[in-house]
Structure 1
Amino acid sequence: MSDDHHTQRLAEPVPPAGRLEVQNPFDLKPIASVDTLDRRGVEAALATAHALFRERDAWLSAHERGAILHRTAAAMQRDADRLAALIAREGGKPLVDAQVEVARAIDGVHNCAEVLRSDGGREVPMTASAAAAGRLAFTTHEPIGPVVAISAFNHPLNLIVHQVGPAVAAGCPVVVKPAEDTPLSCFAFIDLLREAGLPAGWAQALVTDGPETAEVLATDPRVAFLSFIGSARVGWHLRSRLAPGTRCALEHGGAAPVLVDGDMDPADVVPALAKGGFYHAGQVCVSVQRVFAPRSLAEPLAQALAEAAAALRVDDPSLADTAVGPLIRPAEVDRIDDWVRTALSGRARLLAGGEPLGRTCYAPTVLFDPPADARVSRQEIFGPVICVYPYDDADSAIAAANDLPFAFQAAIFTHSLDFALHAAQRLDASAVMVNDHTAFRTDWMPFAGLRESGLGTGGIPYSFADMRTEKLIVFKS
């Protein structure tokens, strides 16, 4: 057991229910231990959040919240190297990508402060009706109430910023439960918020002693808004159990499709596909997974992608030149290998990878034309595997791309405006990238999973809007 021990970040600490060991996912060595909390801890956190929200005179003003957020971003910049190393150690993300995540998270905290300046109320016209004459009506915004955020492991700092930052900006007390695999980045962010002047009760963090306790946290009637990032199975279950009146946003995943036009040179497509598919070992909810290319181009494209995959260094994520790190748990290595081998027992051809590299890593893998009913074709693999499928006409490829219960982000590679517009209008997706990979995003753009991929719209300004209510005030003269 590591000597680095972390307690919960509650306003009023309670006795722990147990202790969780946090491991480095590359070498499986313990790096820290974290207290877990049972229902008593959940009750303490929610009671604090509820009491703060009900005491309106204790609400922080918008300018106070903005200043706290800007000071937090400055402290994150000061600690950027420490935060990047923490992401790499607990989450297995290669250091170069962890540094990018920290930079994004810092910018995201600034974004949380900036939305306070740009999203005011509105006048509701009263002069259009004789019955409304002599009145002035306008809207203002108020915090929706206590927010509970349940987060995922794959971006252990930036996802927390996306869930906690808008709540702070909106003036909502927030209780966040990070992923059990990666709680340390969350705790670090909460500590920096408090260092910047946020009173402890406005942002609390805890790790529960099991899924039942996490469900109690999410479904308590005092929760006004649930922000969930994680598996569809858990997310839809929690939504079905929410208390009446609780709003929510769910972000799950998909099996992102890419449609390549016949006018493309593989050399112009492969770098983006490799980045979008193998970044963070494919553990991204909009990672490139299914690539559709014309029959004449598909195999040369797949071979070039295989060469790019074979050239990636898979190693310790703390090393500067590591391109692909570990899966979050050894069980994920076994699952991915099983999916790949099952596809190979069908008609799929293995062009690169296809094997575990030790207990914790999986070789970047390219499969050519796996069966349409294989799990690699129909479910989110959440690993470093890209499948390439030949097509005879674009509309049949679009139909195959759409033939899943998921719809999130998609991509098109083409030099033809007509092809781009035709495909973009027909792909089932909330966002379509043209000549870029499916995993591109900025943190202020809408980010929405459709169908089983999620509910609501992420992105900092959109989460901020979700965490506020609009109040109409009418004056009669």
Structure 2
Amino acid sequence: MEMLIGGAKVGASNNQTIDAVNPATGEVIDTFPSASKEDIERCLEIAQAGKEKWGSMSMDDRSKIMRRIPEVFRAHKDELAELLCREMGKPIYQCEDDLEVTVGIFENIVEEARHLLGSSFMDLSSGGELGDVQFTVYEPLGVVVCIAPFNFPYDTLTQKVAAALIMGNSIVIKPPSDVSLSLIRYTELLLEAGVPGDVAQIVTGRGSVLGDYLVKTPLVDAISFTGSTEVGVKICQDSAPYLHRLIMELGGNDPFIIFDDADLDLAVEECWMRLRNSGQTCCSSKRYIVHNSVKDKFCEKLVEWLKGFKMGDPKSRETDIGTVINEKAAKEIEEQIAHTVSQGARLVYGGQRDGAFVTPAVLMDVTKDMDVAKDMEIFGPVFPIIGFDTEEEALKIANQTIYGLNAGCLTADMTRSLRVASKLKAGTVVSNGCSTWRGPEIPFGGYKMSGIGREGGRYSLLTMSQEKTIAIRRIK
């Protein structure tokens, strides 16, 4: 497949390509371009021209085009889901679910934009006088670079793309190299729906190579990135001389606190979100902080429950768990499990690797001083169980990390649940459930090193626009 620059399908000017590999079979599906600096510069220059035309259109005219996008995506749902399944080893039904969420985000954002109203201030402002009128309007940022993650590429990218486009920005999409084919096709469908070719473009290649080209330039006005904290920090450093607007949704090591009065069957059922996408979910619970009086029982129920899931061919509708994104990632998970065991934990279930497949792993005897209990994020189906005795101890363990994306709490005592929620350092706290929660309208984002800014509904629209105040003096 080829990139889309200025509405045309193009290869890299240096003729370099990268193989797209199915992690479940090792099959080379296709190739995609490895863009050069010259390709990026041409793309950004086109985006600069595109932003003027698109940004000068009325919100209503942009909405008419964007309301066609969900129709086009629904018409190609099977094709998009199958391509994603082949590229990342995610079970096919989960890929289909992702497409439904993607369509919903487009619909939600376009409708939300119709109700994004400015503010007005009359007569009473400090320093003003009778007859002064002030009001606010929202204007585009300009060129927005949208850097997508591999784990939920369609819907996570759409949080950026939909808001950026409806607010009048031109976009340049940088897909992860592991799912570039899926997002090339995604971009083709944007153009098919009527988005101009100089407004939506996609460039492909290794992030380590393209990152400098896309970030260290005055031809960009904003960068919206979802990915690791390490890469997010580098983007912040590299973009500092240009003061780009930054939206960063980064790593997490989300806690799930399970108290002694919790419904353990419900607690185990909530663990399903750690299996979805083979544990590759930013806001999935990654630390299970369980009261010592029920810790063994919870572990027993969890292990028995895990035995009921089938790992296998992602194309099969009988498969519950597919691969992680590639074999390199699987090896890293394997090493992290071994590291935690070397620190004194017990591997009581699973943890075996076969290529890019990793069986769900349960780790007991994890203590609060181990790396996995603090800042080591395991991006895979691993359940580290950490015991506690008091509410204060549970909160201390939960908050002892550099991250603060989401958190979950399960207790029959709603007063305690709300008290705990107020003390957890996280962008979203889920009461009566695990940490995995991201509604399309909520302000999603993290505390500390889990990110900068918020995405979702109205919050995405505000992030992707400039708020301008217009003052009219001395109206008589």
TM tier, smaller: over 0.9
Matched, 1:29 2:20: no
1: CA distance between counterparts of 2:406 and 2:288? Answer: 13
2: CA distance between counterparts of 1:374 and 1:129? Answer: 55
Tell me what 1:40 maps to.
Answer: 38
Matched, 1:372 2:368: yes
Matched, 1:20 2:45: no
**1:8–1:34 contact (8 Å) kept in structure 2:** no
From 248, 251, 256, give the equivalent of 1:253: 251
Matched, 1:417 2:414: yes
2: CA distance between counterparts of 1:57 and 1:200? Answer: 11
Write the deviation string for residues 194-228 of structure 1: whole angstroms up to 9, x where unpaired. 11111101110111355233222122112111101
Tell me what 1:71 maps to.
Answer: 68
**2:373–2:397 contact (8 Å) kept in structure 1:** no
Q: Across the two proteins, how many residue pairs are aligned to each other? A: 470
Aligned partner letter, 1:100: D
Q: Secondary structure at the match of 2:334?
A: helix
Q: 1:140 to 1:463 in 2, by over 3 A?
A: same
Q: Secondary structure at the match of 1:223?
A: coil
Write the deviation string for residues 165-197 of structure 1: whole angstroms up to 9, x where unpaired. 111111100101000000122122211111111
Q: Secondary structure at the match of 1:75?
A: helix
From 330, 334, 347, give the equivalent of 1:333: 330
Q: 1:209 to 1:424 in 2, by over 3 A?
A: closer
Aligned partner letter, 2:102: A
Q: 1:158 to 1:57 in 2, by over 3 A?
A: closer
Aligned partner letter, 1:364: P
Q: Tell me whether 33-42 or 341-350 shows the greater mean CA deviation.
A: 341-350
Q: 1:89 to 1:9 in 2, by over 3 A?
A: farther
Tell me what 2:263 maps to.
Answer: 265
The residue correspondences of 1:177-216 to structure 2 (distance < 5 A) are 177-208=174-205, 211-216=208-213
Q: 1:51 to 1:260 in 2, by over 3 A?
A: same
Q: 1:136 to 1:265 in 2, by over 3 A?
A: closer
2: CA distance between counterparts of 1:437 and 1:128? Answer: 46
The percent of aligned pairs where both chains have the same amino acid is 28
Matched, 1:440 2:440: no
Tell me what 2:7 maps to.
Answer: 11
Matched, 1:51 2:53: no
The residue correspondences of 1:292-331 to structure 2 (distance < 5 A) are 292-331=289-328
2: CA distance between counterparts of 1:419 and 1:394? Answer: 9
- 1:286 deviates by 1.2
1: CA distance between counterparts of 2:34 and 2:144? Answer: 20
Q: 1:450 to 1:249 in 2, by over 3 A?
A: same
Q: Secondary structure at the match of 1:296?
A: coil
**2:54–2:168 contact (8 Å) kept in structure 1:** no
Aligned partner letter, 1:368: M
TM-score under structure 2 normalisation? Answer: 0.95
Q: Secondary structure at the match of 1:376?
A: helix
**Which 5+ residue runs of structure 1 have no aligned equivalent?**
none
Aligned partner letter, 2:303: A
**Which 5+ residue runs of structure 2 have no aligned equivalent?**
none
Write the deviation string for residues 359-408 of structure 1: whole angstroms up to 9, x where unpaired. 11000111112243433323110011011112111210110111111111
Aligned partner letter, 2:371: R
TM-score under structure 1 normalisation? Answer: 0.94
2: CA distance between counterparts of 1:130 and 1:36? Answer: 57
Q: Secondary structure at the match of 1:213?
A: helix
Q: Secondary structure at the match of 1:183?
A: helix
Q: 1:290 to 1:168 in 2, by over 3 A?
A: same
Aligned partner letter, 1:11: G
1: CA distance between counterparts of 2:412 and 2:129? Answer: 56
**1:146–1:223 contact (8 Å) kept in structure 2:** yes
2: CA distance between counterparts of 1:210 and 1:249? Answer: 17
The residue correspondences of 1:216-295 to structure 2 (distance < 5 A) are 216-242=213-239, 243-273=241-271, 275-295=272-292
Q: Secondary structure at the match of 1:237?
A: helix
From 320, 344, 349, give the equivalent of 1:347: 344
2: CA distance between counterparts of 1:90 and 1:160? Answer: 16
The residue correspondences of 1:94-105 to structure 2 (distance < 5 A) are 94-105=91-102
- 1:15 deviates by 4.5
Write the deviation string for residues 440-460 of structure 1: whole angstroms up to 9, x where unpaired. 211221111211111111224
**2:88–2:326 contact (8 Å) kept in structure 1:** no
Tell me what 1:62 maps to.
Answer: 59
Q: 1:155 to 1:128 in 2, by over 3 A?
A: closer
Q: Secondary structure at the match of 2:194?
A: coil
Q: 1:132 to 1:184 in 2, by over 3 A?
A: farther
- 1:432 deviates by 0.7
Aligned partner letter, 2:139: E
**1:190–1:203 contact (8 Å) kept in structure 2:** yes
2: CA distance between counterparts of 1:265 and 1:327? Answer: 30
Q: 1:111 to 1:57 in 2, by over 3 A?
A: closer
